[in-house]
Amino acid sequence: MKRLKEASIPAHVYAVSLYSDADHICPGEICKLDTKPGATNIINVPLEDKNHLDFMVDEDIYDIVRRHLEIGFSRAHERESAPDKTP
Protein backbone atom coordinates (compact mmCIF):
# COMPACT_ATOMS: atom_id res chain seq x y z
CA MET A 1 0.00 0.00 0.00
CA LYS A 2 2.83 2.39 0.77
CA ARG A 3 4.26 2.08 -2.76
CA LEU A 4 0.80 2.45 -4.29
CA LYS A 5 0.10 5.57 -2.24
CA GLU A 6 3.44 7.07 -3.32
CA ALA A 7 2.83 6.29 -6.99
CA SER A 8 1.24 8.68 -9.42
CA ILE A 9 -1.85 6.87 -10.68
CA PRO A 10 -2.47 7.74 -14.35
CA ALA A 11 -5.87 9.22 -15.22
CA HIS A 12 -6.76 6.21 -17.39
CA VAL A 13 -6.28 3.77 -14.48
CA TYR A 14 -9.36 3.06 -12.35
CA ALA A 15 -8.03 2.47 -8.83
CA VAL A 16 -10.24 1.43 -5.93
CA SER A 17 -9.33 0.94 -2.30
CA LEU A 18 -11.72 -0.80 0.07
CA TYR A 19 -10.95 -0.23 3.72
CA SER A 20 -12.38 -0.57 7.19
CA ASP A 21 -11.37 1.10 10.41
CA ALA A 22 -12.28 -2.20 12.12
CA ASP A 23 -9.48 -3.95 10.17
CA HIS A 24 -6.61 -4.09 12.65
CA ILE A 25 -4.21 -5.76 10.21
CA CYS A 26 -4.44 -3.10 7.51
CA PRO A 27 -6.30 -0.11 9.02
CA GLY A 28 -8.20 2.45 6.99
CA GLU A 29 -5.66 5.25 7.34
CA ILE A 30 -3.10 3.04 5.58
CA CYS A 31 -5.48 1.97 2.80
CA LYS A 32 -7.00 5.26 1.70
CA LEU A 33 -5.66 6.49 -1.62
CA ASP A 34 -4.97 10.17 -2.16
CA THR A 35 -7.54 11.72 -4.43
CA LYS A 36 -7.30 14.86 -6.48
CA PRO A 37 -10.21 17.30 -6.88
CA GLY A 38 -12.31 16.30 -9.88
CA ALA A 39 -10.58 12.95 -10.35
CA THR A 40 -13.05 10.14 -11.05
CA ASN A 41 -10.52 7.34 -11.39
CA ILE A 42 -9.46 6.99 -7.74
CA ILE A 43 -12.12 5.68 -5.39
CA ASN A 44 -11.98 5.00 -1.66
CA VAL A 45 -14.76 2.75 -0.34
CA PRO A 46 -15.19 2.74 3.44
CA LEU A 47 -16.69 -0.44 4.86
CA GLU A 48 -18.35 -0.28 8.27
CA ASP A 49 -17.43 -2.84 10.91
CA LYS A 50 -15.55 -5.22 8.59
CA ASN A 51 -12.48 -7.01 9.86
CA HIS A 52 -9.60 -8.35 7.77
CA LEU A 53 -11.14 -11.81 7.29
CA ASP A 54 -14.41 -10.28 6.09
CA PHE A 55 -12.62 -9.07 2.97
CA MET A 56 -12.23 -12.72 1.95
CA VAL A 57 -15.64 -14.14 2.82
CA ASP A 58 -18.26 -11.38 3.01
CA GLU A 59 -20.74 -11.48 0.10
CA ASP A 60 -21.44 -7.74 0.34
CA ILE A 61 -17.74 -7.00 -0.13
CA TYR A 62 -17.62 -9.45 -3.04
CA ASP A 63 -20.48 -7.53 -4.69
CA ILE A 64 -18.65 -4.22 -4.20
CA VAL A 65 -15.46 -5.63 -5.73
CA ARG A 66 -17.40 -7.13 -8.65
CA ARG A 67 -19.20 -3.82 -9.30
CA HIS A 68 -15.93 -1.87 -9.35
CA LEU A 69 -14.28 -4.46 -11.62
CA GLU A 70 -17.20 -4.03 -14.02
CA ILE A 71 -16.76 -0.25 -13.95
CA GLY A 72 -13.02 -0.58 -14.60
CA PHE A 73 -13.52 -3.03 -17.48
CA SER A 74 -16.24 -0.83 -18.95
CA ARG A 75 -14.01 2.25 -18.87
CA ALA A 76 -11.13 0.32 -20.44
CA HIS A 77 -13.42 -0.98 -23.19
CA GLU A 78 -14.75 2.53 -23.89
CA ARG A 79 -11.18 3.84 -24.11
CA GLU A 80 -10.10 1.04 -26.46
CA SER A 81 -13.21 1.50 -28.64
CA ALA A 82 -12.76 5.25 -28.98
CA PRO A 83 -11.49 6.46 -32.34
CA ASP A 84 -7.77 7.14 -32.38
CA LYS A 85 -7.28 10.90 -32.47
CA THR A 86 -3.58 10.88 -33.30
CA PRO A 87 -2.65 12.30 -36.71
Q: What is the pLDDT of residue 7?
A: 82
Residues of the chain by 3-state class (helix, strand, coil), percent to 5: 40, 10, 45
Q: What is the pLDDT of residue 13?
A: 93
Assigned domain for 71 exists: yes
Mean pLDDT of the chain: 90
| CA-atom Rg of the chain in angstroms | 15
What mean pLDDT comes out for the span 13-36?
93
The pTM for the full model equals: 0.81
Assigned domain for 86 exists: no
What CATH number does the domain containing 59 carry?
A: 3.40.50.1820
Assigned domain for 67 exists: yes
Assigned domain for 33 exists: yes
Assigned domain for 87 exists: no
Residues of the domain holding 28: 2-81
Domain tally, the chain: 1
Q: Phi then psi for 10, rounded to 5 degrees?
A: -60, 150
Is 80 exceeded by the pLDDT of residue 86? Answer: no
Assigned domain for 35 exists: yes
